[in-house]
Amino acid sequence: MTNSPRFWEKTLLAIRKADWEAVYRTELPRIYNYFRYHVGDARLAEDLTAETFEKAWKNRHQYRNDLSAFSTWLFTIARNLASDYFRRARDEVSLENAVNVSDDEPLESLVQRRSDIEKLSMLLGQLSDRDRELVALKYGAGLTNRKIAQLQGISESNVGTILHRVMQQLRTAWEKRS
């Protein structure tokens, strides 16, 4: 109790009861699949996911008002990492580890699934950066159009329009190659 008065402060800090394990369980698959849709490779998606969480986790309690800021922070970090990654190594993406192999899965099915994923990854790779980002947020992270609009700074209807157009484009290309 020897600190000078200037060190005495009043702090009002509302801390929601935060079940961080539940947050982790919820956000991990979203962040992971966000990267999956960006990079295809499962191990690379794991590395980027781990980097994202490690950057965010140690300061998670600073988000006083809600867990939403933490979730947004995760996605902000993830998007920056994805962007950095593509700047560094766009052409080095490997599909070697694109599929998690289950011991129980028949070889024929596994081969078919790997082939399909390679095809989808190739089609996704042909999208523009913005379109692929939207697809990753929608189908990888599972965000609503409203949330994507907030993250991207564009209108919700704009998100819907772009995604509709991108899906048409992907569907056509997919059927052509089937």
Of residues 38-97, which lie at the interface with other proteins (CB under 8 A)?
40, 42, 46, 49-50, 53-54, 57-59, 61-69, 71-73, 75-76
Residues 128-167 that bind other proteins (CB under 8 A): 135, 139-140, 142-144, 147, 150-151, 167
Q: Are 23 and 70 in contact, with CB atoms under 8 Å apart?
A: yes
Of the two residues 91 and 175, which places its CB atom closer to other proteins in the complex?
175
Q: What is the rounded distance in angstroms from the CA atom of residue 163 to the CA atom of residue 151?
A: 15
Question: Cβ of residue 83: shortest distance to other proteins, in angstroms?
Answer: 15
Q: What tokens were used for 146?
A: 């409203």
Of the two residues 5 and 106, which places its CB atom closer to other proteins in the complex?
5
Which of the 8 DSSP states describes residue 139? I
Of the two residues 113 and 160, which places its CB atom closer to other proteins in the complex?
113
Q: Indicate the residue type of 72.
A: T
Of the two residues 92 and 116, which places its CB atom closer to other proteins in the complex?
116
DSSP 98-131: -SPPPTTS-HHHHHHHHHHHHHHHHHHHTS-HHH
